[in-house]
Structure 1
Amino acid sequence: MFRHAMLMVGVAPLALIAATAQAQIVPSSEPTATTPATDQATAAEPDQEIIVVGTAGGGTRRQDAAFAVTTISNEAIARAAPNSTADLLRTVPGISAESSGGQNGANIFVRGYPSGGDAQFVTFQVAGVPVFPPSTLSFLENSQLIRLDETVQRVEAVRGGTGSLFSNGQPGLTVNVVQRTGGKDFHGLAKVSYTDFDEIRGDAWVSGPLGEDTGFMVGGYYAQGNGLRDPQFRAEKGGQVTANIHHDFGNKGSVEVYARYLNDRGQWLLPIPIVVGAGGKISEYPGFDHGSGALAGRETRITTNVAGQRVDLADGRGAKVINTGLSFDYELADGLRFRERMSYLGGRADTTGLVPSDAPISAAQMAINLGGAGSTVNRLSYVNGGGTVTTGAGTQVLRAGIWTVDKKLTSYVADTAMEWSTGSNKLTGGFYYANYTTRDTWALGNQVLLAAEPNARLLNLTLDGGRTATQNGFTSGPGFIVNAYYEGSDYAAYGVDEFQITPELRVDGGVRWQQHVVDGTIRTPAAATVNLDGNALTLYDNAVSVFGSPRQVNYNKSEWSWTAGVNYDFTRQIGAFARYSRGNSFPQFDNLREGLTNVSQVDTYEGGVKVSTSLLNLYATVFHNKFGGLATVNLVSTPTNPTPTPVTAVGGAKATGVEMEGVLRPFRGFSLTAAGTYLDATYRGFFTGNGAINNTGNRVQRQPRWTWRVTPALDVDVGGFKPSLFATLQYTGDRFSDPENQQVLPNFYQLDAGVSVDISDRLRLAVTGNNLTDELGLTEGNPRIIGGQGTGAILARPILGRSFRFSASAKF
């Protein structure tokens, strides 16, 4: 603890005079207080930075916001070179984002909010409207439905604060993606990039006028490659196209319509073998590179399981959706404004993955796990040629499930508000409506026997007594299966009043009433399994799950949320705020499927100071959260029964923390940036294992006490060339992968860096490097077991290894 405290003390002075590099203000690309985000250059001062997220829709200066919010400009996104949409959130204080799972399927944790994974308390928006109102369903979180590309002007992220009042009432983290829009001149960019692991990507956008007060923007990207963890086939492929038209009604308001089509998929990266030695020291599993090793390979790409289902792992995890929307803002009369924001999303978000269940063990032990005590290996052979495995019973093997989860999605969201301003008072009232559906088809289980090696080969195993344990490598058929249709609707009314008592003092308060309605028809496994061929000696198909009778889910409940805040400006550049808020998170489809009807409640107390000048920006926040009614569902397994089974976790928690971010600009061309978070989050009356394990006093899983990052950046002008150099050193403290605090994830550092050179006003060359030291840092243990994994070979998910991206861009 003392060592981490000293590390934080060393970083704190930087944080006190800095903000994350990704939060720095780039005047050439940020909007002014009175104009939308366009591709045209503006001369916004640092204290004029406008944010929309966490407001009723009209926007406010970040310096005036009485809540914790971070903004990330387009230039800062480029410098961060995130591996995925979720990866960008590592730059936001108070957020733990794990992007080691690939482009999709990230785990995002907020300010000690307890959850088992995915992004239960994170909502992504486009133009202030949720991309998909439920923040997380099993095998789907919001960041899977949107990609970052050059059409994004900036990203805004509010933690706690007023988030529980607006939009879908998210009390955790709300992330708003702001698109570029067209102005009076034609502008555009074309960019091509290539990585040292053979991924190629092209980005482009163009914008310009359609009339005196009307502009357009269209752009997107396309990429393909095998990925850094190469499975020996094209695992990453797809792109996104975005277009919008923006019209200004002079000083009266504006209207914008947009459409985004996403068709992109990537490999779902899961835990791989890692070795834990004495004292918890971690190292690579022999022959398995921690930064680039992949379990999937040519042999496992296309398989047909014992139930006759053909699966292609190249389908991966991703989305094929279209998202359209409208944003309308108009002054009906002096002081009276009308706002309408709506969106529609439709398409698919499917998942296909190779999900390991066992750490490597000997074939002899596997024989016992599959056949029972006393079972022995008769023959171990390769499925696709190569004959008998010579080392036989001593061969290291493991099992992995070939899982498929298909989701067909729709959502419609409408947010209507009226704002009435009278001198020092601004009153806003609104109504929020959302309707969303998903049709789910799951086939989990389908275990295959693999050699414990990268790009693993399939194995067949026969046991003593004439028993056959595998069929073409499969040791089991479908286990946990789901066929379901859900429909959810949310109705909410909200009201907010902001009162400027004096030029320095502003208070605000608001309430929200929300009704949550869910109806569904569900089929899950019947109590009894079947033996497909009726032969007891073929072990692989003796216990295959079949569907039980349909059952109904009907849920209807309402709750109130509220908040009150105060903001005091000592000067226009220095201020402070304090806020209390009560937020709710209603149970979504997966919880209701397992009978969990709890409404999670969180009380948040926070306060902070803000400094915004041309020399420095500083945002420091202290917060305390109290949680009740938490409920999650995890899929767990055992060595003798690797078929995933839903297990519930319910209870409460509390968290106290400090967040700091800032940027120092001591002289032209140089910035020193930093951010740091201290978090003390523990469970209170929180039970896992279907109520069998009391975790009271344990640290909340997956969230470290200490995280920080420091980024120096230098822009110079050398003989007409303009090189920019930047680097980021990030520290992630030790965590526990499980609520029982038995799977330790050690602390680690990550170093990223890059350089870009403007060879002219129109041409830029750049190279960025991620994880330059090739650090072995774990973000996840084995989430499919309860308890510890011991020492020796375990399953864990490391961050991606060292990689480089080279790019060239031209603009006009």
Structure 2
Amino acid sequence: MKKNRKKLNKIKILTVSSLALLGGASLTAQVKQKSDTIKTSAEQKGDSKVMLNAANNTGPRDVNIGLPASVGGTTVLENGLPVVYFFWPEVPTKTWRGDAMLNKYSLYDLGQTAINIGDVGFSLSSYDNLGTDDFQGKLNLESNHYGLLRGSANVSGPINKKGLKYSAGAYVSMDPGTFNAKGLNTYYSDQAQIYKLALTQDYKFTGGTGSITALYKYANVKGIGQKYSPFIYGKNGEVSEVPGFKIGRKSYYERSGKVTLMDAFSGDLVQRDVLNDYGSQSNTIDVIGKNNFDNGLNLNYIVRYHSAKVGTYIPIMAGISKAAAGEFVYADTGEAYTGSNAQGVLILATKRTPIQSLTGTIELGKKSESSWGTHDWKVGVNEWFYDIDKYATESAMYFQEVAPNPRKLIKAGSGANANGDFNLNGGLEYHNGRENKFAFFALDKWTVSKSLEVNVGARLEYQTLRGDYQDRNLGLQTLTGPKTKIDKDWFNQSYMVNAIYKVNEKFGLLGDLNYIEQAGHLENYNIGVDPKIKKSKIPSAGFGVFYNHPIISVVSKATYITRDEYRSTVNFSNPNNPGEVKRETTKYDIETIGWTTDIISKPFKNFELHFLLTLQDPKYKNFVGQVGFNDGSVAKYDFTDKYVTGISRVLIEIDPSYVWKDLRVWASARYFSKQYANRPNTVYFASRWETFAGLEYKINKHLSLSSTIINLLNQKGAQGDMGDADLLLTAEQAKQKEGTILSGTYIRPFTVEFGLKYNF
């Protein structure tokens, strides 16, 4: 059997795409193939391309599986546990970054994510350096031509000769973004400090060896991540710049940097700083244990206590309307506004909310052999508890001019206060309570023979919600009304099976089946209506082939995935009054089929070319409803069989690289076909390329330098939803938008980054 296993391990395939690329982009280019092993587990080291992100420079890129990415993006784990219990309101980058203390990354596919953590999609798992037997250190410095200041360091070594060792790390980021935001702090885009300290004791016991670690982490993060720009929307989804407004190089943040809100608890009017009053701080303590027994068993565990105060500030572009002469005045001076357009802005702002979680995982596993083959199995238990204390989102609206560094405007009769803010707490949100998950899971990698490998897994999870929310039908601007109780229980099941069959030395088949169930969270009750949560069921299947040759390796796979009982909050703008926005909870299903072909070619020494093609067809199902507005109008909608917004149907990735002595030169180009910007599919953005290039030079074994260019072609990169376009239900209505000014998000403009790494 050992001989057969060695033969099986000689098959070289493209790892992630061969297992579960469910209608989305591959991670293969982000995983270094360092052996000829069939790698079906997550024990692979990821490389930096998982962090190569055109949208921002603080977190990993989202991995497209044909379903919309969550607000939190890619799920991130650290040392085996998610860095946050749930992505809202504490998104992962508020407590985690790719710092120098992380010494290993691995990637979980759809099935592995479902079984290990009960989540949907791909996930990035990171592991800290917990201490070393010899003294060593690492220093990473980053900058760009806009003035980014980012540094990270780690030192580790022994404390005594009895197995006690340490590791300490620090990460500091001061990012001025790509434009000067008048009225805001210079480093408005990102201000982050993260510090870690780990102490590890190795030990021996009768029948084995082990270690126990105490790890402490402190994080302090603030910044405004949402970046918008006005642009002229043209034919065929093309956009052009508004005269005097360069996309990504001019600020569209209102210049006062202040917003006047109504305190959700007291009813008092308060003025808050949009940056300093909405940061987040957290403290995390991990206890990590690893035990290896002489009989081959291993017992690992981690327990984490996480305490945070989390603030969020989100400006949402509600819609641009024509400004009649004398209709608006500037809020700061009272002088008449003579511009042609006014931008409506919806503000959702959450004060620093106390959050606590106690999460833990324990796993028992072993590699064993029998007459039926070899097994690499593990069984485990999750116990995750989460408590959030009176989460409240205060809201307001205001108008601003359509210009760089815009000033606030006041519209006659809008009811705006002296600072220009109105409709206070019209979008009031609140929830309070606790969540708990208890799960049993099991995974087995079964090498049946030299030709067949099968991976199976199951997760059984009991989930509870206990808390309260305030019914919005009470019509209150504060949280002084009676609360409605939340008392929900679910039993969630997830299963996975995937197989790799080797027909001959070069050619083989692969397939997978996954079934995932996922219930709701307290945040589903935010807007004050009972969402009547039902479990989402997410079945998926894939079948493909692979071919391996010293010059070329190919994987081609067809996939199917569907998810029902989707729930999300949508901001609907009144077509008759773009300044009025209604936040509604919507329910729908999504179905997608896809086909992915992934190729790695090495036509000559030191050169490698990766190519990825994905075709997918994600559509909404059972997406029907209506929304009423203050003027009495009611808009009905039916988005069934419309394409999902923000997801391209054609994806291409091309990644060449060449190594010459100590110099590595690489490039990456990603093509995204047109993306619909509204749910009725009447407005869309044209196709685009996201381009990167870089070089890395190793001066000696200790020091290396690098440079990376983001958005090499300097494309405009407008993308995302148009908040005022979901009720443009016909092509005729949408055509009226051509030649008008709209606003939306965009990819980073041309950026040159510099890096230095020093190891000692």
- TM (norm. structure 1) is 0.78
Which residue number in structure 1 is paired with residue 568 of structure 2? 632
Q: 1:389/1:187 Cα in 2 relative to 1: closer, same or farther (>3 Å)?
A: same
CA drift of 1:642 comes to: 4.3
Whether 1:712 and 2:656 are equivalent positions in the alignment is: yes
Whether 1:411 and 2:357 are equivalent positions in the alignment is: yes
Which residue number in structure 2 is paired with residue 682 of structure 1? 619
CA drift of 1:453 comes to: 0.8
Task: Report if the CA contact (8 A) 1:670-1:712 is conserved.
Answer: yes
CA drift of 1:84 comes to: 3.2
Which residue number in structure 1 is paired with residue 329 of structure 2? 381
Which residue number in structure 2 is paired with residue 622 of structure 1? 558
Amino acid across the alignment from 1:188: G
Which residue number in structure 2 is paired with residue 57 of structure 1? none
Q: 1:778/1:140 Cα in 2 relative to 1: closer, same or farther (>3 Å)?
A: farther
Task: Report if the CA contact (8 A) 2:637-2:727 is conserved.
Answer: no
Amino acid across the alignment from 2:357: S
Amino acid across the alignment from 2:520: P
Which residue number in structure 1 is paired with residue 35 of structure 2? 46
Q: 1:240/1:621 Cα in 2 relative to 1: closer, same or farther (>3 Å)?
A: farther
Structure 2 Cα separation of the partners of residues 396 and 545 of structure 1:
32
Unaligned segments of structure 2, at least 5 residues: 1-17, 263-267, 628-634, 729-733
Which residue number in structure 2 is paired with residue 22 of structure 1? 30
CA drift of 1:602 comes to: 0.7
| Aligned 1:320-359 pairs, distance under 5 A | 320-332=281-293, 334-359=295-320
Task: Report if the CA contact (8 A) 2:76-2:82 is conserved.
Answer: yes
Of residues 251, 254, 258 in structure 2, which corresponds to 1:302? Answer: 258
Structure 2 Cα separation of the partners of residues 294 and 510 of structure 1:
49
CA drift of 1:195 comes to: 1.9
Which residue number in structure 2 is paired with residue 368 of structure 1? none
SS at match of 2:269: coil
Structure 1 Cα separation of the partners of residues 669 and 384 of structure 2:
41
Of residues 798, 801, 810 in structure 1, which corresponds to 2:746? Answer: 798
Which residue number in structure 2 is paired with residue 539 of structure 1? none
Amino acid across the alignment from 2:36: D
Which residue number in structure 2 is paired with residue 589 of structure 1? 522
Whether 1:173 and 2:145 are equivalent positions in the alignment is: no
| Aligned 1:220-259 pairs, distance under 5 A | 220-232=170-182, 233-234=184-185, 235=188, 236-246=190-200, 252=209, 254-259=211-216
Task: Report if the CA contact (8 A) 1:73-1:153 is conserved.
Answer: no
Of residues 603, 626, 640 in structure 2, which corresponds to 1:696? Answer: 640
Task: Report if the CA contact (8 A) 1:480-1:524 is conserved.
Answer: no
Amino acid across the alignment from 1:807: G
SS at match of 1:290: coil
Amino acid across the alignment from 2:152: D
Q: Which is worse superposed, 468-477 or 273-282?
A: 468-477
Structure 2 Cα separation of the partners of residues 85 and 572 of structure 1:
42
1:677-712 superposed Cα distances (whole Å, 9 cap, x missing partner):
221222232335479533222112221111122122
Task: Report if the CA contact (8 A) 2:299-2:365 is conserved.
Answer: yes
Whether 1:188 and 2:137 are equivalent positions in the alignment is: yes
Whether 1:518 and 2:455 are equivalent positions in the alignment is: no
Amino acid across the alignment from 2:568: T
Structure 1 Cα separation of the partners of residues 744 and 135 of structure 2:
49
| Aligned 1:731-810 pairs, distance under 5 A | 731-783=671-723, 786-788=726-728, 790-791=737-738, 792-810=740-758
Structure 1 Cα separation of the partners of residues 432 and 700 of structure 2:
55
Which residue number in structure 2 is paired with residue 442 of structure 1? 392
Q: Which is worse superposed, 574-583 or 251-260?
A: 251-260
Which residue number in structure 2 is paired with residue 133 of structure 1? 85
Task: Report if the CA contact (8 A) 1:526-1:548 is conserved.
Answer: no
1:447-487 superposed Cα distances (whole Å, 9 cap, x missing partner):
22211112111233446xxx975523223322122343120
| Aligned 1:192-211 pairs, distance under 5 A | 192-210=141-159, 211=161
CA drift of 1:655 comes to: 1.4
Q: 1:162/1:806 Cα in 2 relative to 1: closer, same or farther (>3 Å)?
A: closer
Which residue number in structure 2 is paired with residue 457 of structure 1? 407
May I ask how many residue pairs the two structures share in their alignment?
700
1:556-613 superposed Cα distances (whole Å, 9 cap, x missing partner):
1213222233333467987643221210111111224532211100111123456788
Task: Report if the CA contact (8 A) 2:54-2:748 is conserved.
Answer: no
Amino acid across the alignment from 1:476: N
Structure 2 Cα separation of the partners of residues 443 and 331 of structure 1:
48
Whether 1:607 and 2:543 are equivalent positions in the alignment is: yes
1:125-183 superposed Cα distances (whole Å, 9 cap, x missing partner):
1122122233x43x54434432112222343232322332222x123222211233443
Whether 1:557 and 2:502 are equivalent positions in the alignment is: no
Q: Which is worse superposed, 142-151 or 251-260?
A: 251-260
Amino acid across the alignment from 2:71: D
Task: Report if the CA contact (8 A) 2:150-2:172 is conserved.
Answer: yes
Whether 1:118 and 2:54 are equivalent positions in the alignment is: no
Of residues 65, 84, 101 in structure 1, which corresponds to 2:40? Answer: 65
Structure 1 Cα separation of the partners of residues 423 and 583 of structure 2:
18
Structure 2 Cα separation of the partners of residues 352 and 358 of structure 1:
19
Task: Report if the CA contact (8 A) 1:450-1:473 is conserved.
Answer: no
Q: 1:756/1:118 Cα in 2 relative to 1: closer, same or farther (>3 Å)?
A: same
Task: Report if the CA contact (8 A) 2:385-2:435 is conserved.
Answer: yes
Structure 2 Cα separation of the partners of residues 607 and 215 of structure 1:
47
Task: Report if the CA contact (8 A) 2:221-2:279 is conserved.
Answer: yes
Amino acid across the alignment from 2:488: Y
Which residue number in structure 1 is paired with residue 57 of structure 2? 84
Structure 2 Cα separation of the partners of residues 608 and 140 of structure 1:
38
Structure 2 Cα separation of the partners of residues 319 and 570 of structure 1:
54
Q: 1:501/1:286 Cα in 2 relative to 1: closer, same or farther (>3 Å)?
A: same
CA drift of 1:265 comes to: 1.6
1:411-461 superposed Cα distances (whole Å, 9 cap, x missing partner):
121222333554234553322211012234434432222111121112334
Task: Report if the CA contact (8 A) 2:415-2:422 is conserved.
Answer: no
Q: 1:312/1:511 Cα in 2 relative to 1: closer, same or farther (>3 Å)?
A: same
Task: Report if the CA contact (8 A) 1:445-1:642 is conserved.
Answer: no
Identity among equivalent positions (%) equals 17
Structure 2 Cα separation of the partners of residues 727 and 272 of structure 1:
28
Q: 1:798/1:806 Cα in 2 relative to 1: closer, same or farther (>3 Å)?
A: same
Q: Which is worse superposed, 727-736 or 674-683?
A: 674-683
SS at match of 1:359: strand
| Aligned 1:484-523 pairs, distance under 5 A | 484-523=431-470
Which residue number in structure 2 is paired with residue 32 of structure 1? none
Amino acid across the alignment from 1:339: N
Amino acid across the alignment from 1:580: L
Structure 2 Cα separation of the partners of residues 663 and 199 of structure 1:
34
Structure 2 Cα separation of the partners of residues 764 and 237 of structure 1:
26
1:287-317 superposed Cα distances (whole Å, 9 cap, x missing partner):
2211222221432x12434652111122386
Task: Report if the CA contact (8 A) 1:481-1:547 is conserved.
Answer: no
1:321-355 superposed Cα distances (whole Å, 9 cap, x missing partner):
22332333323462433232322221022112333
Structure 2 Cα separation of the partners of residues 688 and 245 of structure 1:
55
Whether 1:261 and 2:206 are equivalent positions in the alignment is: no
Q: 1:261/1:384 Cα in 2 relative to 1: closer, same or farther (>3 Å)?
A: same
Of residues 596, 617, 630 in structure 2, which corresponds to 1:659? Answer: 596
1:489-539 superposed Cα distances (whole Å, 9 cap, x missing partner):
01112234554332432334333221110011223545346xxxxxxxxxx
- TM (norm. structure 2) is 0.83
Q: 1:618/1:687 Cα in 2 relative to 1: closer, same or farther (>3 Å)?
A: same
Of residues 362, 365, 386 in structure 1, which corresponds to 2:323? Answer: 362
Q: Cα RMSD over matched residues?
A: 3.4
Task: Report if the CA contact (8 A) 1:771-1:802 is conserved.
Answer: yes
Whether 1:397 and 2:348 are equivalent positions in the alignment is: no
